[in-house]
Amino acid sequence: MATITVPTSSDLQQQRAATERQLQDAEQRARAASKLQDAESAIAAAQSATNTAEAASPSFFVAGWRPFIGWVCGLGFVYTIVGAALHLPAIDTNPMIMILTGMLGLGTMRTAEKITGVPPSKVGKVARK
């Protein structure tokens, strides 16, 4: 069975650094940097398309995983606060904090875009139809 390898952003950053070290000509470096930027944009577009397809899915198991993770983290924090008052066993909240701050951070970025007047993307219009 064939395996498809999708480069990550850190892979592209490492490739960019290696390319800059190898290429002496500024014009060649600029062309290589442009190609790597195009690759990063393609990765972001593919992820955006995946997110749109997931959000549009009528299946709760496809479209509902993000809200589910949000509710699980929220309930974990409620348990932590109420559990401390009721002397229940403590849980490790570090994984929840990492997940929740990542989810909230992405929401905050869009809120900042709305405040500064950035129009919604085409992807958002597709998801609302």
Would residue 72 count as lying in a domain? yes
Would residue 106 count as lying in a domain? yes
- Give the confidence band of 47 by pLDDT, cuts at 50, 70, 90: confident
128 CB neighbour count, 10 Å cutoff: 9
Would residue 39 count as lying in a domain? yes
Give the Cα separation of 48 and 42 in Å (integer). 10
- Same domain (yes/no): 35, 79: no
- Same domain (yes/no): 49, 76: no
Per-residue pLDDT tens over the stretch 63-101 = 777 778 888 888 999 999 999 999 999 999 888 888 887
Model pTM score: 0.42
Q: Is the pLDDT of residue 4 over 70?
A: no
- Same domain (yes/no): 107, 81: yes
- Same domain (yes/no): 90, 54: no
Chain centroid, CA 119 distance in Å: 20
- Same domain (yes/no): 53, 70: no
Would residue 4 count as lying in a domain? no
Would residue 1 count as lying in a domain? no
Would residue 124 count as lying in a domain? yes
- Same domain (yes/no): 43, 69: no
Number of domains in the chain: 2
Would residue 2 count as lying in a domain? no
Q: Which amino acid is at 80?
A: T
State which residues form the domain around 21: 9-59
